[in-house]
Structure 1
């Protein structure tokens, strides 16, 4: 785009004049992409630490929201007047109310990852852009190396299809070995 409006040519011409005087590209202010140090990139080890932290925060948030959902259901249903002798949906009323409390806790548990992800993003705002880039790259690697689950059996289960339990480079290498072993077993025995 800059070449179309002529700005690029003027900037390059000015920088080459400065370069001719100073004798160096560094002093001219030119920077090539191959020489640029990317200090903002996170390493794979840091990515896996952040991924583990996200998982821990999501699990903790699920525990708290599950307990909160059960408490909300209990407090709501505890204030309703009902006849103990008349069945609800053909079942004992206490069984139905107990099931409703567990249902509230289950809904709370399922809302936990939404809360946990928001907490994770707030606590790691500076690294989120690079984390998302690494996450996309990691998921594309998982997608490229995952096995075909159609040949699974009880004695040959699929190794972590989505890569959810990979939290280090060691885990990733082990996952790749497990995928290769699965392919070999599926090829030999099917």
Structure 2
């Protein structure tokens, strides 16, 4: 009884009815602030925040690396073409060797015609077709190899290729003015390898249009 009475006496007295409810400062400090917890904004986990920050900081760098100038574009374009042309040699040899191996293993009977033609003629045409297939496959494989070795510029080169095509299509002469006497010079801009070549190409297109207009005036 003495212990229970001492505990009851040690508790703080309840405030009287009608008076303001006041708690000790220490008690308020010990309790969590519910209003602060409810107003906290939603945030992503620390790992995601760091990753997004890293991605945001690295985005300008990647865009800067991907962007190339026109001089760099023409230089990389020449390298890509050279790679595509060099790849045509092994692909042509490979298709010819495969086709020749297959045809040599077959028994050729000159008396049995193939579609009404001599078998040797058909096999010769087949070998030519194998060589042409190698020539066509070579640039595709070469372009893929170039992209693998130039991943840093592959996407930028695609954008530059499209932009370059738009420049060519917008500034070249009217195809309807093409004739044997006045052919359109470099219709697709394949011979343009530098900015100076592009300026020369523009002058040639302008000269072609002037010449075509002059001939049209003469005919009228």
Same fold? TM cut 0.5: yes
Matches within 5 A, 1:8-157: 39-40=64-65, 41-157=67-183
| TM-score, scaled to structure 1 | 0.75
With 178-187 and 156-165 compared, the bigger mean Cα shift is at 156-165
1:181 is the counterpart of 2:189: no
Tell me how far apart the structure 2 counterparts of residues 100 and 106 of structure 1 sit (CA, whole Å): 10
SS at match of 2:180: coil
| Structure 2, gaps ≥5 residues long | 1-59
* 1:74 CA drift (Å): 0.8
SS at match of 1:159: coil
Tell me how far apart the structure 1 counterparts of residues 158 and 112 of structure 2 sit (CA, whole Å): 55
- How many aligned residue pairs are there? 155
Structure 1 moving runs of 4+ over 6 Å: none
Tell me how far apart the structure 2 counterparts of residues 64 and 175 of structure 1 sit (CA, whole Å): 34
Cα shift readout 1:84-103 (whole Å, capped 9, x = no counterpart): 23332222221211110011
SS at match of 2:120: helix
Tell me how far apart the structure 1 counterparts of residues 135 and 93 of structure 2 sit (CA, whole Å): 8
Tell me how far apart the structure 1 counterparts of residues 154 and 73 of structure 2 sit (CA, whole Å): 10
CA RMSD of aligned residues (A): 1.9
| Structure 1, gaps ≥5 residues long | 1-32
* 1:39 CA drift (Å): 4.4
Larger radius of gyration: 2
SS at match of 2:106: coil
